[in-house]
Amino acid sequence: MNEFGKAGLTSVLDQLDELTDEDQVSIGQIVDKLGASSFASLMLIFALIAVSPASAIPGVTASVGLIVAILVVQMMAGKKSAWLPAFLLRRQLSAQKLKTGLAWLRKPVGWIERILRQRLTAVLHRPVLLLPLTLVLCLALFMPVMELVPTSGSVASTVIALFAAGLLVRDGVLVILSMTLMLAVPAVIWQFGFAG
């Protein structure tokens, strides 16, 4: 089931752009705007926030990792509606930085949309889907540590965003690609962050 259709990624950005008229935007407002039942779109937008210039806000990478981990656990448990703890829902983001980030994302998101299509949907069903979800969970739990390595959080978030985009538009090929990249991310971060 595709929550937004082929142009779903741009639709998510459009919805969030409506929240940037105020000085601050809370995570709770983002969840309310996208809908608590839209697991894929919630995962996508929080991952994209951690990729965009909005990731310069201190603690965003760790917060996104925690949010994604909580969402994935609920997806694995078969929950129909997302729940996030109150302290995360209250967390505020600069509306201006979010707006800048959304504008920056439109070009790469538009490019990705052009290559997405519904295919190889067998990998999007249980029990196969549990494998990429497990990999996303492991990567998300590692993201707070990535605060120590510049840009590493953006790398991990990009891969998670690719998975969420594949899930959103039912593109099994993109989900498989994201799984492959997930396996490579820890080694790349270690090589350029800790071992370097």
Count Cα atoms within 13 angstroms, Cβ side, for 52. Answer: 25
In a domain, 146, yes or no: yes
The answer to whether residues 26 and 86 touch, using CB atoms and an 8 Å cutoff, is: no
Burial class (CB in 10 A: 0-12, 13-18, 19+), 49: buried
* E strand intervals along the chain: 24-26, 92-94
Query: If you average pLDDT over residues 138-158, what whole number do you get?
Result: 80
Per residue, the 3-state secondary structure of 63-128, as one string, reads: HHHHHHHHHHHHHHCCCCCCCCCHHHHCCEEEHHHHHHHHHHHHHHHHHHHHHCCCECHHHHCCCC
pLDDT of residue 4: 37
Band (pLDDT 50/70/90 cuts) for residue 195 is very low
In a domain, 120, yes or no: yes
In a domain, 181, yes or no: yes
What tens digit of pLDDT does each residue of 51-100 get? 877 666 677 888 899 999 999 999 999 998 899 999 999 998 888 888 88
Is 2 a residue whose pLDDT tops 50?
Answer: no
As for how many domains the chain has, the answer is 1
Is 150 a residue whose pLDDT tops 70?
Answer: no
What is the C-alpha R_g of the chain? 15
In a domain, 143, yes or no: yes
pLDDT of residue 134: 95
In a domain, 162, yes or no: yes
In a domain, 76, yes or no: yes
In a domain, 1, yes or no: no
In a domain, 22, yes or no: yes
State which residues form the domain around 178: 8-194
